Amino acid sequence: MTSSPATGDVEKQQIGLQSSIPEEQSQHHHHHGAHLRERLRHFLHPSGKKIHVAASPEEAISLRTRLEQIHSHEEFDVYISGTPEHLEALRDAQNHHEDRRDQLRSEHPEMFERFAKVHNELDALAMELDRVTTHGVSLDAHFNRFGYNAHVRSYDDDSPSASGVSTPHSSSLSDKSSNAYERGFATPLKLFKVPTLRQYFHGGILWRASGSEEVQSFELFVDLLYVGILQIQGDNTSEHPTGLSLLHFIITFTLSYKIWNDMQLFISWFETDDVFQRVSILFLLACLFGYTTNIVEAWEHTYPTLIGFYLAARLYMAAYLLLCGYLLPMVRPVMIFHIIITLIAVALWIGSIHVGWPGQLALIWPALFVDFLGQMGYVIIQMILNKTGGKAKVWLDKKFEFIPAVNIEHRTERTNAFVSLVFGYTVVAILYQSATNGIDAFFGKAMLGLVQCFIFNWMYFEIDSSNLLTHAIRRHKISALAWSFAHLPFIMMFVLGGGGLSRLVVANDAPNSHLDWLTEQYQERSEEDIPMGIRWYYCAGFGIALLCMALISVSHVHRQHEGIRLTKKFRLMARLAVAIVIICLPLAEHLNSLDLVGTVTGLLVLLLVTELWAASNAHDKLFGRARPCRYTGRCSKGMLLEMVKNGREVDVDQLTDDKEKYRGHTVGP
């Protein structure tokens, strides 16, 4: 059996088979692996005929026409891929070559064994060379989404760990479990399993599982609690629009975000999938629930309780890291480092409980700094020592030989889910209840607010997070830090802006917005004179969120297509200008609530249109499809030939009635 002919094959050059190879295959740069994965274009049948394989009926007709010009009908045949004729011919060829193999083994057993041994060794070396020099096909989708990096490897569960350690991989039971699935057995949930390190850095190489990590159901349940946290913190801050209230909001929101961030980090680091993991999540949820119930009165009476619940969650996660360090010696130094950082922050928070306001700020700010930047200390130290060198670098490389890594798929999906929650909070916050029949200014402001949220969602997910050549986490350590830390002020400021917008929607300072047109619940929140703090919350919140989105976009490397109207640099300059204008809008005190919300909406719409236009192709039409849509149906070979020759229309529904009669032939009208 032969595969596609090599470059220079006379027959291939004559009939132009290379034009029928899919573009995806031509772009593969895997050597040995890609060769094995290529679709067989033609092979020799035991009867002596050369069988050519076409991907579609149209290609089969074109291929047969070209072959008839250089061969007789007895020398070849053309089958459509996947048809019964194609499968039968493959089985005949397989049986023929198996018989030849058995005959060769019986006639020359010693030579056959020697040849088989050499062949197996060459295959093993070729596969290892492909794994080391390129990357496995299982990572293709990952690289296509987040960018290629030659320093990323996937560990093979069928062989010892190439990184020099024996790690219990999460997919080590893949073969057994797949057999269990075939037998109809379920996978039991154990009470406790030794944690598995999902991915890690070793020797400058990122070792990770080849598959993607799925989001667990209990992670989505955690997000449900954060819906309430966002509402409580956003509404409470907008009730008292002062600088002190903003300071309290920043501190309490940062702590709740820290708990969420650490939970996602540890779930991304370790795989256990046992009862103990779920009970641990439930305990952290209980701590987070208790933390949330003490937010409103935290700076008057409940600050010790608030910090107590926060420290309970932090200490429990430190104990979990201690357990992982004990069970996984390869990452024990990293776990000890994180525990030390946690204990330092805990000491500062405990001290803040015993100091009155505002003196406790002297302990709160260092505690926040240690909580958020302390865990990145060894990365920063490593970057510095890589430039300076010396004995300190040798000692650090030895102690931190294995460093847990973030799973990029899991991290981005969880972050995207949290951002969606923030957008959803703002949509819910602008809802109100009308007490009159008809459409008024309240409805107009709410609709404008809905448009704003939709535009932010559009820009974040479909402009900034799509068409990525290299994701920020994959690009560089600095870009990864920028992407991670930019999300905290982005989310925080958008929640603040959403809280301000909710107060502007029910304000009765604009024409056609009478107080009695609202239900009693919303009349209590309605104001005729908008406080200056609400204006700043709303405008500065959305403006700074827009700036953070620009920073997030800068951290990525986006694909640039030919004919782009404006490059990313100029698009972000326009975003920067719009953000500055929005931030400065509170200075225009003569604007009422409707004017203010309408102005911000107009600026965001202008920005969205500009970004869409700038990212479009100047050589393409703005309307219509680049290629006509094709619908496929099954038909007989005779009807297909008649349609192609005479150009007659064929009823696709009629052709699909008899599936056995028309099986294997496809037509696209």
Mean of pLDDT values over 402-429: 87
Cα–Cα dist 360/343, whole Å = 18
At 637, the amino acid letter reads: K
- Two tokens, residue 413: 């999906």
Q: CA gyration radius for the chain? A: 32
Q: Going by C-beta distance under 8 Å and a sequence separation of 6 or more, which residues neighbour residue 376?
A: 481
Phi, psi of 76 (to 5 degrees): -150, 170
Q: Which long-range contacts (CB under 8 A, 24 or more apart) does 40-46 make?
A: 40/1, 40/3, 40/4, 41/3, 41/4, 41/17, 42/2, 42/4, 43/1, 43/2, 43/3, 43/89, 43/90, 43/93, 44/1, 44/2, 44/93, 45/77, 45/89, 45/92, 45/93, 46/92, 46/93, 46/96
DSSP E strands in 138-231: the ranges are 152-154, 196-197, 199-202, 205-208
Cα–Cα dist 112/382, whole Å = 55
Confidence of residue 383 (pLDDT cuts 50, 70, 90): confident
Confidence of residue 9 (pLDDT cuts 50, 70, 90): very low
Instruction: Say whether pLDDT at 230 is over 90.
Output: no
At 442, the amino acid letter reads: F
So what's the pLDDT on residue 208?
74
So what's the pLDDT on residue 309?
94
Higher pLDDT among residues 647 and 247, named by residue: 247
Higher pLDDT among residues 420 and 16, named by residue: 420
Render pLDDT for 636-657 as a digit per residue (tens, 0 to 9).
666 666 665 666 655 555 554 4
DSSP E strands in 253-351: the ranges are 270-271
**Angle subtended by helix axes 593-615 and 441-458, to nearest 10:** 30
Mean of pLDDT values over 549-555: 93
Instruction: Say whether pLDDT at 565 is over 50.
Output: yes
DSSP E strands in 84-125: the ranges are none
Identity of the highest mean pLDDT range in 22-36, 156-170, 228-242, 300-314: 300-314
The ranges assigned to domains in the chain are 10-131, 137-208, 407-622, 633-667
Least confident of 14-28, 72-86, 375-389, 632-646: 14-28
So what's the pLDDT on residue 3?
39
So what's the pLDDT on residue 180?
45
pTM: 0.70
- Two tokens, residue 94: 């397989």
Render pLDDT for 110-160 as a digit per residue (tens, 0 to 9).
888 888 888 888 888 777 666 555 444 455 555 555 555 545 555 544 444
Q: Taking Cα atoms as reference points, which of 380, 439, 416, 403 lies closest to residue 552?
A: 416
Least confident of 63-77, 116-130, 233-247, 582-596: 116-130
- The per-residue pLDDT of the chain, averaged, comes to 79
Q: Taking Cα atoms as reference points, which of 645, 633, 623, 642 lies closest to residue 669?
A: 633
Confidence of residue 605 (pLDDT cuts 50, 70, 90): very high
Higher pLDDT among residues 542 and 4, named by residue: 542
Cα–Cα dist 105/417, whole Å = 60
What is the SS3 string spanning 469-484?
Answer: EECHHHHCHHHHHHHH
DSSP E strands in 411-549: the ranges are 468-470
So what's the pLDDT on residue 200?
82
Cα–Cα dist 25/34, whole Å = 8
Q: Are 224 and 167 in contact (CB under 8 A)?
A: no
Q: Going by C-beta distance under 8 Å and a sequence separation of 6 or more, which residues neighbour residue 374?
A: 341, 344, 345
Q: Going by C-beta distance under 8 Å and a sequence separation of 6 or more, which residues neighbour residue 153?
A: 131, 135, 162, 163, 205, 206, 207, 208
Cα–Cα dist 5/164, whole Å = 41
Render pLDDT for 277-291 as a digit per residue (tens, 0 to 9).
889 999 999 999 999
Q: Are 461 and 416 in contact (CB under 8 A)?
A: yes
Identity of the highest mean pLDDT range in 148-157, 169-178, 296-305, 546-555: 546-555
